Amino acid sequence: MSDELTTELRELAEAGVTPPPVSGAEIRRLAVRRRRRRRTTAALAGVSAAAALALGLTLTVTLGDRAEERPSPAASPTGTPSALPVRADATIDLRRLVLTIDGRMLPISAGTVKAPTPTGRMTVTAKEEAKTVASDGIAFPSGYNLKALWVLELRAADGRTTYLAALTYDDKAPGNYDTTGGWIGLRTADAQWLYGQLRKGSVVDVESSLPAATVRPPAATSPSASRTRAPETAPAG
């Protein structure tokens, strides 16, 4: 009984075994193809990496050459731009006989036709509250000294000079007629105020137009004029 049972069980086991779907030879052939495919893929990956590296180097060299060929941007100017014209602190109109400063207009009296006032752009180079000057021969005979008050010395670029000062000997002249020997006279109160407004270095523009006719009234004596006889060698201007 045991031998027959053993035989039946073996036959039953052999009948239940499922044969493999692929033979051994086919399995070996598939393994060879898989290895070849892996090698081909690795080789292609290596070629692609080498090509990418070569392309990157080519682009770098090309861009570098173009960067060298590209003109450099224009250099920014290093020079100092030309300065804007300096605005005058005061303007003198010889035709209208007026000095304008900060919107305020002060009447003046300037030089006559025989002794005209220098014109152009001038600069305040000195200030004196009182200054003794030689007579210009207009209001007083030449050779006499005059005591000028609130004096501002003006100098042009070419060295010409003139003065702004109180016209103490003829307070009616400013704004009405010219009576000086070339300097610019103001009423005493206006001259004192202007003295406090302008400083050394202030710019004054003197316009060049003159009135068609200049009226000069008779000379008037002022208490502020010192009639001390000056040396004959003293300048008359």
Closest CA to 225 of 139, 162, 142: 139
Residue 47 has pLDDT above 80, yes or no: no
128 pairs with which residues across the strands?
Answer: 151
Q: Single out the residue of 199, 219, 198 nearest to residue 99, CA to CA.
A: 198
Average the pLDDT over 165-175 and give the result.
92
Highest mean pLDDT among 25-39, 103-117, 132-146, 213-227 belongs to 103-117
Res 21: pLDDT: 61
Domain ranges in the chain?
Answer: 27-63, 90-206
Q: Residue 172: its pLDDT value, please?
A: 93
**Mean pLDDT (the chain, rounded):** 75
**Is the overall model pTM greater than 0.75, yes or no?**
no
Mean pLDDT of 7-35: 68
134: its two tokens:
């030689």
Closest-CA residue to 189 (of 89, 93, 106, 133)? 106
pLDDT for residue 83 is more than 50 = yes
Of 46-55, 63-72, 151-160, which has the strongest mean pLDDT?
151-160
More reliable by pLDDT, 215 or 108: 108
In the chain, % of residues over pLDDT 90: 38
Nearest residue to 119 (alpha-carbon basis) of 211, 206, 209, 237:
206
CA gap 138, 217 in Å, rounded: 10
Burial of 149 (0-12, 13-18, 19+ CB in 10 A): middle
Structure letter (DSSP) for residue 80? P
What is the pLDDT averaged over residues 69-79? Answer: 54
Q: Give dist(CA 168, CA 8) in Å, integer.
A: 159
- pLDDT of residue 96 exceeding 70, the answer is yes
CA-to-CA distance for 175 and 145, rounded, in angstroms? 25
Q: Give pLDDT, residue 35.
A: 75
CATH superfamily of 90-206: L,D-transpeptidase catalytic domain-like (2.40.440.10)
Report pLDDT for 207: 92
Question: Phi and psi of 30, rounded to 5°?
Answer: -65, -35
Residue pLDDT, tens place only, 175-232: 999 998 899 999 999 999 999 999 999 999 999 764 444 444 444 433 344 333 333 3
- State the pLDDT confidence band at 36, using cuts at 50, 70 and 90: confident
Rounded alpha-carbon distances, angstroms, from residue 70 to 64, 77, 92: 10, 21, 58
Report the pLDDT averaged over residues 24-39: 73
Those residues whose C-beta lies under 8 Å from the C-beta of residue 109, and which sit 6 or more positions away, are: 97, 167, 170, 173, 174, 175, 176, 177, 178, 179, 180, 184, 185, 186
How does pLDDT run across 116-137, given as a tens digit for each residue? 999 999 999 999 999 887 666 4
